Every structure is written in C-alpha cells, then in structure tokens.
Chains A and B, each alone.
Chain A
Amino acid sequence: MKILLRGLTKRFGLQTVLDAVNFEAEFAHTLALIGPSGGGKSTLLRLLAGLDAPDSGEILVNGEPLPQDEERLRIHRSHTGIVFQAYNLFPHLSALGNVMLPLTEVHGIDTATARDRAMDVLKRFHLAEHAAKQPAQLSGGQRQRVAIARALAVDPAFLLLDEPTSALDPEMTAEVLDVIVELRESGKPIILVTHEMGFARRSADRVAFIADGGVLECAAAGEFFENPRQPAVKQFLERILKY
C-alpha cells in the first residue's frame, strides 16, 4: 500500500494542526503512526478515512486521489475499515447486528448472506458465543474486537485504527493486539495510531512520527526505534521508554 500527502493542511479555527505536509510512504502490511498527544495523528487518520476534509492539499491512496465531494467520500469510507479508540458500536444493536448493518444497508447484501458473513468474521475473532449480546454486555476488549470485525466484514481496501487499545487494560489490550496481528497476516494493509511502542516495533513495517504540524520522521520499524535521526524523536522515545 502506498500513501502520498501533498501539501496537506488542516486547521481548527486558528490552530494549524497539519501544516502543508508532504509525505510518502509505501509499506506491505502495517504503518504505525506515533507521536506526542495533540500532534495530529487522529486528525491525519480522519483525513485518510474521508471523515473530515482538508483545508488544502491532497491525499493519494495507491495513486488515487481522495474525492472531494461528500457522496464519493462516503463511498470511500464504506470501503475503508475504520476503528476508533472507543464507542464504535451502536448500543441498541447486538454484536451480530452491528457487523451486519453495513453489509445490508451500505453494501446491499441480502440478510441471509450478511448473517453468514458476519458470523464467519465473529467466529474468526472467537466472538461467536457473544453474537447476540449488546455492547453493554461485552467487555471493552470484546467491544473493540467486534468493532474490528465490523470493519473487516465489508472486505475493505485497508484498515485505519486509531488507538484501538488505549481505553483497555493490559489483558484486553493483548487480546485486541492479537487480533491486529492476525489481520496483518491475512494481508489487509493497516494504518495504526498507537501508544504501544513494543507492538509498533514488532509488527509495523514502517513507523511515522507526527508532531509539530507534520511528519518529522518515517523509517522502517527497526531503524526507527534503534536509530532515530531527529532529536525530537529521540527525546520522545527516551521519555516514553523510560518506564
């Protein structure tokens, strides 16, 4: 997968979060986005997802520019698997209902086929026995796994995960990270915002550091952690790896 940002700018009021970012990354499986809080990781991910529109500049995914109009952005989103930090699921629907909704309503798949497909994905993530439960009856880790299942069930072109484990305790974090590793093995490209440095190091192909309105550094995971070039990145890693 290849993404290219050309003069990408995003402002919120007077604050310029992404300032004319030029960036190119090609990776086989996983690109990890890391950086300090408030650096603009989520903002970039939302632009890639087509949830927000940039103020200027453009994004090319595999050479294709992201559309500008809402209707075609909606179609882009429907072919992209998007998972946020928390509250992804619709609380009035069961786990199965959550996975089925985009299949039947967005992709026009008939109910029986959609149910089979949704059950297959839930089984794959060891969630079959929880299919009938509502989100309130699931643990945080199970909820995030259902959210990933929902994103994956539509057979998206790629997945965007924004700190999918940061609201979870260590055990649940591990269970969700296992799922992400499995995704990686299945060959779906993933762009992942994470604070789990160990995970980024082991399972990402490339790591990009986002701060101060842009991408300060991007390198292969091993190189990024062993030998960061930018002093700001060095400092960040030292601070975060201290404990």
Chain B
Amino acid sequence: MQAGFFIDRPTSPARPAAKAVTIIILLLVYSGLCWLAFSHSLKNWEQVWGYRVTFLNGWAATIGISAAALLLSTAIGALTALARRSAFLPLRYTAAAYVETVRGLPLLVLVLFGFYGIANAVGWNDRVSVGIVILSLFSGAYIAEIIRAGIESVGRSQWDSARAIGLTPVQTYRFVIFPQVLRQILPPVAGQFSSLIKDSSLLYIIGIPELTFAANQINSATYSTFESFVPLGICYLVLTLPVSLWTKYLESKVRYET
C-alpha cells in the first residue's frame, strides 16, 4: 500500500478498491471506539426489549405523521407559491407574510404556540392532527419557497411561447410550467421530506406518542439511556438516509438532463 492510496483528486483519482477499503476500515475503527466507550452502558437490553411494541408504534407514528405532513405541506406550499405570484395584492401579501413569519420562527415555538395557544383556545384537542397541521404549516412555507424558485427558474421565453401558441394562463401552468417545475423541485422537496421526518421529533413536547416520545418514555421507565436512545438514532437514520440518497440521485439526474 503506497502513501497515495487514500488520496482522491480529480487529476489522479483513487482506485475503486481504495474507497471500499477506506469505508471498511473506518466502520471497524469507529464501531470499535463506540464499543470501547459505551459497551459498559449498553447492557440493559432485556428490559428495553420489553418495550419494543411502544417503540415500533412510535416509529409507525413518526412515519405516518411525516407522510401526512408531506402531502399537506406540498398542497399548502403549491397554493402559497401561486398566491405569491397572484396579481391580487391582498392575496400576494398574505402569502408573503405567512412564508416570512413561519421561516423566521423556530419550529418549537410554533409547536408550543400552535398547540397551547391556538388549538387549546379553539378546543381542538386531538394532538396528532394538531401536530400534523403545525408541521405542515411549518414545512409548507419552505416548500412554497422551493416551488416559487422552481417557477421563477422557468425562463420568460417559455411564457412567451405558451402565449404565442394560444394557451390560456391555466393551461400554461398545467402543460408548460408545472412539468418543468416538477423536475426542478423534486430533489429539494425530497430533502424537505427528510427534514420533516427529523422535525417531527419536536412534536414529543406536546405529548404525541411518536418515536422520540416513545424512546423518552422507555428511558424514564427503565433508566437505560443508551439502550433507549441508540435505537432511536438508528431508526431516524434508517428513514432519512434512503431519502438523502434518493435526493442525491434525483439531483444528478436533473443535472445531466439539462
């Protein structure tokens, strides 16, 4: 093995074997370090195993909440993006105010205010649905910006060409703008989905039995912090890593085709 084995430069790329070897060595080294550091605290598995159903239910809730919020926030984002381009000023400014307010606030503040402030005041007590709506309003503002940037990336010539052949504005959006926007925004929206999965953990603060809530509960019941939180981290990674890889794949695809 030469000294340059682990070096990867555009001018002298590393051999494929070097990448595989690097990954294997690093996996061994880091898992060994983790084992040395934490092995004495990772021994209470039997007791935690008894709570596996709580944990799996939490995981299912996290997936369900994130998926529902993704659908709802995409709808909110699309409508908001259109509203921000509306010719009707009150609508345009309302959308702008919504986006800027939400993007300027921490999600935790929105969750606390939305649940204890607004939902309680109007007597809406179903925590899960409140949680989904708050998460969707939060993520919707970001998706609105993604979609708006996508629409703006479609050149003026496309609008001209669409008008030139006699399409109506609605037809122009449907047949010309949205199909092009969709390809542009798929990678960032997939990234937003990954954020949603992670952000949904904050809903534990209002007592929604999602994944983080479950892990926290198991920790309190068993006093086994590591045995509760290591699986928690792994469960989030199992959800977010594939999404992240998929996002990278989509990005490379869009890049090659344009």
Contacts and interface: CB of A to CB of B under 8 A. Distances in A.
Contacts of A148: none
B165 A102 contact: yes
A79 B164 CA distance: 10
Nearest to A51: B163
B176 interface: yes
B220 interface: no
Interface in B60-99: none
Contacts of A82: 164-165
The size class of the interface chain A forms with chain B is: 20 to 34
Interface of B: 155, 157-158, 160-168, 171, 175-176, 179-180, 183, 257-258
B157 A87 contact: yes
17 contacts: A51-B163, A75-B166, A77-B163, A77-B165, A79-B166, A82-B164, A82-B165, A87-B155, A87-B161, A90-B176, A91-B180, A91-B258, A92-B179, A102-B165, A106-B166, A136-B258, A154-B165
User: Per DSSP, are chain B's interface residues mostly helix, strand or loop, or mixed?
Assistant: helix
Interface in A71-94: 74-75, 77-79, 82, 84, 86-92
A92 B184 CA distance: 11
Contacts, number: 59
Contacts of B171: 105-106
Contacts of A102: 165-167
A101 interface: yes
A29 B179 CA distance: 38
B250 to A, nearest CB: 16
B171 to A, nearest CB: 6
Q: Give the one of A86, A92, A101, A136 with max B CB within 10 A.
A: A92
Contacts of B167: 101-102, 105-106
